[in-house]
């Protein structure tokens, strides 16, 4: 399984358009080679380089496993967005206080559909995913405001 983007490559810079310095919309993403037995996908975007904790930028769960792409400024049809560390659901782009930060776009294929309330947190999603991950992959983007 693989996750890619047409606007940045693994370990390269995320364009400012997709950050708090630009339009703050999600970049387009492609999902490749999703396992045939997957029942749902989960997408988590976070920043382990934030000063106080790993900062959650986007949580999307119960994505149809037939999904092959996420268009710019959109979410996969019938999926659910979870709560971010910005205090609301939806995409919150990179917005580091200083230095270069890494943004992990993590895609998980699960053997189940998650039974979670609307606006679940990353922690709730990760807890429900335990024992159900059949494949996973990640794409890392970099961003600095300097």
Give, in degrees to the nearest 5, the angle at Cα 112 between 106 and 113: 80
Residue 106: half-sphere exposure toward Cβ, Cα within 13 Å: 20
Does the pTM of the predicted model rise above 0.85? yes
Q: What is the CATH number of the domain that holds 109?
A: 3.90.280.10
Both tokens of 55, joined, read 């900062």
The tens digit of pLDDT for each residue in 89-107 reads 999 999 998 899 999 999 9
Rounded CA gap, 57 and 95, in Å? 10
Q: What percent of the chain has a predicted confidence (pLDDT) above 70?
A: 99
Q: Cα–Cα distances in Å, from 45 out to 7, 24, 37, 48, 92?
A: 16, 14, 24, 10, 9
Domain count, the chain: 1
Residue 69, domain extent = 2-143
Measuring CA to CA, how many Å separate 5 from each of 9, 14, 25, 124?
A: 7, 10, 14, 27
- Write the pLDDT tens digit of every residue in 20-39: 999 999 999 999 999 999 99
The owner of tokens 């986007």 is 58
| Beta strand residue intervals within the chain, DSSP E | 2-4, 12-13, 29-32, 40-47, 55-63, 69-70, 80-81, 101-110, 133-143
């Amino acid at each position: 399984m693989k996750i890619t983007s047409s606007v940045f490559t693994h370990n390269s810079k995320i364009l400012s358009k997709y950050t708090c310095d630009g339009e703050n919309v999600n970049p387009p993403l492609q999902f490749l080679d999703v396992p045939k037995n997957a029942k749902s996908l989960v997408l988590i975007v976070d920043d382990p380089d934030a000063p106080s904790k790993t900062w959650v930028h986007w949580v999307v769960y119960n994505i149809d496993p037939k999904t092959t792409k996420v268009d710019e400024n959109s979410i996969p049809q019938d999926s659910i967005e979870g709560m971010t560390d910005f205090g609301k659901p939806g995409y919150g782009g990179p917005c580091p206080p200083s230095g270069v930060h890494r943004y992990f776009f993590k895609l998980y294929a699960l053997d189940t559909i998650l039974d979670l309330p609307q606006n679940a947190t990353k922690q709730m999603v990760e807890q429900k995913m335990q024992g159900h991950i059949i494949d996973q992959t990640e794409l890392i983007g970099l961003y600095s405001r300097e």
